Amino acid sequence: MGFLRSKSQIPIWESENNEDLPKALVYVAKIKNQKKLYTIAKNAAFIEVILAAVEKLNKPELVVDLIDERSSYFITREIANRLINKDVIFEVAKTSTNYWAAIISVEKIDDQSLLVDIVNDGVNTIARIKAIDKLKDPYKVDEDIIENIYTDFFSFLNSYNAKNIINNMKLGNFSQIKLAEFLKEHKLDNPDMSIQSINMINNQEILAEIATDSENSYKCVHTEYYTDTNGNENRNEIVYDLRIFAVDKLTDKKLLEKIIDCGSENIVRIAKRRLEWLNSGSDMSYKRWIFKEYGK
């Protein structure tokens, strides 16, 4: 089958003219050749045409290549959302280097054996984390494999490239426990990323455990080096207490009351204000106070 061209003599699917969109969709509907569909999805101007071609693709390796080629955050998410072929979904989850496409694909998989396969041999650390959280018993996976995956994950969290993941990825309880342990024992090199990583923890019991830590394990010291006006080199140490940010995420009033009964003085003070806010619903007054006190 030949292909239609737009008025500008480019393939109809590459046209950015709105008038050509219906023609492009009709054309895609007639195509069965997988490589042709891949070419259309790779080069199409309109998302509607891309997705129409994707829905007809059933060769896993072509879909993975397509996702890696079309690196746009919006487009790759839309492609992954449209996938329905089980073999394609599994291949994307296991072999795609695109974080969001792989995560979305893992979310569509419930077969425990497939999830274990992704955990053991997947190429995408973030997708492997998501697969671990979907396992009914993560402890059945080889301990060394689990530790290596989380080591890679925490190394990734040290980079500013991780902000999008931190702000949008939901961790399961297993990964939240691992993250809390890591923040306690090792810290992230970048205090700002440590603070933002707390946002990935939603389990109220874990947050309360962080908040009531009595050994100052969750304090990070960030050293800034600078040269003063006289040319002398100096350093300034800034201490970040991650327990503060854990309290700030607590919504369980009973746990806050426990923190008030047994927490350290500064944490108790914050927990009291947090509880007052929850009881009154005065969001802005609490936010103004926490910002004034801790610059948050």
Q: What is the pLDDT of residues 117-130, one digit of tens each?
A: 999 999 999 999 99
Strands (E), the chain: 219-227, 233-241
Model confidence at 9: pLDDT above 90: no
Percent of the chain with pLDDT over 90: 60
What value does the mean pLDDT take over residues 41-70? Answer: 95
Task: Give SS3 for 225.
Answer: strand
Domain span including residue 266: 203-296
- Look at residue 64 and tell me if it is in a domain: no
pLDDT of residue 1: 45
Distances (CA, A) of 77 to 67, 81, 115: 9, 6, 20
214 domain-assigned: yes
In a domain, 260, yes or no: yes
Report in angstroms the alpha-carbon separations of 49 from 2, 62, 84, 193: 18, 17, 17, 39
Mean pLDDT of 137-160: 91
3-state SS, residue 196 = helix
Select from 204, 129, 124, 207 the least CA-distant residue to 169: 129
Least confident range from 48-57, 180-189, 279-288: namely 279-288
pTM of full prediction above 0.75: yes
State the pLDDT at residue 64: 96
> Hey, which of 87-91, 160-164, 292-296 has the most confident mean pLDDT?
87-91
171 lies in some domain:
no
Q: For the chain, what is the domain count?
A: 1
As a whole number, mean pLDDT of residues 261-266 equals: 82
User: What is the pLDDT, as a whole number, of residue 108?
Assistant: 98
Question: Considering the domain boundaries, does residue 220 fall inside one?
Answer: yes
Q: Is residue 145 part of a domain?
A: no
Q: Tell me the pLDDT of the chain averaged across its residues.
A: 88
261 assigned to some structural domain: yes
196, pLDDT greater than 90 = no
> So what's the pLDDT on residue 8?
57
The confidence band for 296, taking pLDDT boundaries of 50, 70 and 90, is very low
**pLDDT level of residue 167 (50, 70, 90 thresholds):** confident
Region of 9 (left: φ > 0; alpha: ψ -120 to 50; beta: rest) is: left
Say if residues 200 and 174 touch (Cβ distance below 8 Å): no
Domain contains 113: no
Q: How far apart are the first and last CA of the chain?
A: 61
Q: What would the pLDDT profile of 201-255 be if each residue is shown by its tens digit?
A: 999 999 999 999 987 778 877 777 888 888 888 888 877 888 988 998 999 999 9
